């Protein structure tokens, strides 16, 4: 079994994909902030995406005595925000300042997820090295 096929790794990678989608969406919002009549688009929170798609992380079997299960891929919905910033004279309600804050949050989340993944890989390497000295 590859280290990337564990349920924890798959869920972590799905969260990373969600964070990347948030960054892309926020960048798009920021690029459209100067266009008349544009509205903010948002990606649903990761917890809602998991609930919406009934995704469950579980164990894959490599032995008949192991528990069975599956992991479902999660899609992310993009919707126009109902809570808009105060519209400008051109009807644009995208706040560049708010979008920059969201970009920073997404970048911080992605970095944190990378650190969690790195920590898990190091933990597994440590466990594997403990038994390999004989």
- Per-residue model confidence as pLDDT tens digits over 38-88: 888 888 888 887 776 654 545 455 666 554 444 444 456 666 665 555 767
Alpha-carbon distance of 131 to 6, in angstroms, equals 21
Cα angle: 34, vertex 39, 45; to 5 degrees: 120
- Average pLDDT rounded to a whole number, residues 89-117: 89
Q: Read off the pTM.
A: 0.67
Alpha-carbon distance of 60 to 1, in angstroms, equals 9
Note the pLDDT of residue 63: 61
pLDDT at 8 over 70: yes
Contact 21, 44 (CB under 8 A): no
Contact 4, 13 (CB under 8 A): yes
Alpha-carbon distance of 94 to 37, in angstroms, equals 9
């Amino acid at each position: 079994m590859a280290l990337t096929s564990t349920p924890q790794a798959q869920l972590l990678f799905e969260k990373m994909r969600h964070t990347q989608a948030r960054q892309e969406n926020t960048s798009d919002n920021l690029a459209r902030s100067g266009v008349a009549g544009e509205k903010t688009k948002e990606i649903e929170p990761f917890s809602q995406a998991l609930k919406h798609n009934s995704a469950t992380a579980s164990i894959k079997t490599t032995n008949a005595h192991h528990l069975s299960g599956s992991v479902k891929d999660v899609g992310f919905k993009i919707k126009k925000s109902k809570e808009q910033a105060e519209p400008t004279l051109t009807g644009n309600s995208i706040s560049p300042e708010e979008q920059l804050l969201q970009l920073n949050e997404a970048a911080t989340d992605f970095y944190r997820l990378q650190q969690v993944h790195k920590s898990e890989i190091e933990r597994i390497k440590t466990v594997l090295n403990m038994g390999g000295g004989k």
